[in-house]
Amino acid sequence: MNTARTARHRALAVLVVLLTAVATAVLPGRTGNAAPRAAAAVVPAGVPFLPSPYPLAVRIDSLLAVSLTVEKDVLIRLSDGTEVRTNKYTFSRLKIRRHMNVTQRAAGHTLTIDVPGEGSLGGYDSAGKAETTVMWGRIDRICVLLVACDVQGLLDWFGQFIPLTAGATEFEGTIYAIRTVDDHAALDSTDNPVHLPGTITVTGP
């Protein structure tokens, strides 16, 4: 068990969460009557892996984002070969204060992740080093505490220039991928940067 945990944290190991149905190749194609040949592999763009073309609908009732920065108009490539321009959000910690719900509707099934109470993505490891969470997608709605609701455009604009730490409620986002990494983990580290106590269910159409 310790060996498995250690492997997850070796040399900038990536822990991909909230992401299903990730494909890394396309189907073989035909040209005229020529024999079938494998299509060229789809190469990631903007994301170090190929997210699913079916985005995640993420809702969080209450959260705290720490050291959030925003990169706008990022080109990413999905596992079906299509490209999407979206935003890239990077923060050291996303603290879920109350209820997170993630829904993905993909060909023939619906995936639901439900965290009823508190949880977190990233933070600090046992050595006191900051972890990193990156989220590719868009914020559809957010209420920043003591400011206003529907200020996602303002949040994106300021986040391009300065790191932001803000509490918020009523977060709604369309998210293609989330990645959480312990950038500084030692080879013998067993720190887990993802804490999402809840349930995962998959249902048919």
Rounded CA-CA distance 103/48 in Å is 23
Rounded CA-CA distance 55/136 in Å is 10
Average pLDDT over residues 105-127: 88
What are the residues facing 88 on neighbouring strands? Answer: 71, 136
Query: Taking a C-beta distance cutoff of 8 angstroms, is the pair 109, 205 a contact?
Result: yes
In this model, does residue 101 exceed pLDDT 80? yes
Rounded CA-CA distance 153/172 in Å is 13
Place of tokens 């914020």: 139
Average pLDDT over residues 41-69: 91
In this model, does residue 202 exceed pLDDT 70? yes
Rounded CA-CA distance 102/139 in Å is 14
Q: Compute how many other C-beta atoms are within 10 angstroms of the C-beta atom of residue 150.
A: 12
Q: Comparing 76 with 8, which gets the higher pLDDT? A: 76
Full 3-state SS string of the chain? CHHHHHHHCCCCCCEEECCCCCCCCCCCECCCCCCCECCCCCCCCCCCCCCCCCCEEEEEEEEEEEEEEEEEEEEEECCCCCEEEEEEEEECEEEEEEEEEEEEEECCEEEEEEECCCEEEECECCCCCECEEEEEEEEEEEEECCCEECCHHHHHHHHCCCCEEEEEEEEEEEEEEEEEECCCCCCCCCCCCEECCCEEEEECC
Residue 53 burial (10 A CB sphere; 0-12, 13-18, 19+): middle
pLDDT of residue 84: 95
The lowest-confidence range among 62-71, 155-164, 185-194 is 185-194
Please state the pTM of the whole predicted model: 0.75
Rounded CA-CA distance 50/172 in Å is 23
pLDDT digits (tens, 9 = 90+) for 154-178: 788 878 877 888 889 999 999 999 9
